[in-house]
Amino acid sequence: MPKTIFERIVDREAQADILYEDEHVLAFPDIAPQAPVHILLIPKRHHARHAAVPPEHHSVFSHLFAAAQKVARQLRLEKNGYRLVMNNGPDGGETVPHLHLHLLGGRPLSWPPG
Ligand code: 5GP
């Protein structure tokens, strides 16, 4: 399987403005932002999507959500709020098959999503 763009970012073969990095997670702005703040949080280890993460790797979910909290704080989003989204598969709107969490904020977000 060819690497996804996110694996290429993890391997530093593709450019991204890294806002946050720890042992497990990288965070960088989405190339096509859907809100004034739109950050992607990805695990360094490849998993295709939420549904594909085996139980022995479920800690990746806490790593992503914990990192998102730190980035939200870093970007001072706590007071006004923000949204975390994980698109899974065709009906979920997933376009890059590498697990990722969207952090969206900077404006009121409508509900339900389209
Ligand atoms: P998905 O649609 O799979 O939930 O989210 C994938 C996201 O990756 C999209 O919002 C898309 O704009 C973003 N994206 C695709 N290619 C790149 C890229 O090369 N760099 C960055 N920073 N974001 C990308």
For ligand 1, whether the C-beta of 88 sits within 6 Å is no
pLDDT of the residue at 2: 92
On the question of pLDDT at 21 being above 90, the answer is: yes
- Look at residue 48 and tell me if it is in a domain: yes
Q: Tens of pLDDT along 96-114?
A: 999 999 999 999 999 998 8
- Look at residue 114 and tell me if it is in a domain: no
Cα–Cα dist 18/40, whole Å:
10
Residue 64's domain spans which residues? 5-105
Q: Tens of pLDDT along 24-71?
A: 999 999 999 999 999 999 999 999 999 999 999 999 999 999 999 999
Domain count, the chain: 1
Q: Ligand 1, closest atom to CA 93? A: 2
On the question of pLDDT at 1 being above 90, the answer is: no
Nearest to 102 by CA among 87, 78, 75, 84: 84
CATH number at residue 87: 3.30.428.10
For ligand 1, whether the C-beta of 33 sits within 6 Å is no
For ligand 1, whether the C-beta of 42 sits within 6 Å is no
Residue 30 alpha carbon to ligand 1 centre in Å = 6
pLDDT of the residue at 114: 81
Judged by DSSP in three states, 28 sits in strand
Structure token digits, residue 20? 């946050």
Cα–Cα dist 37/77, whole Å:
9
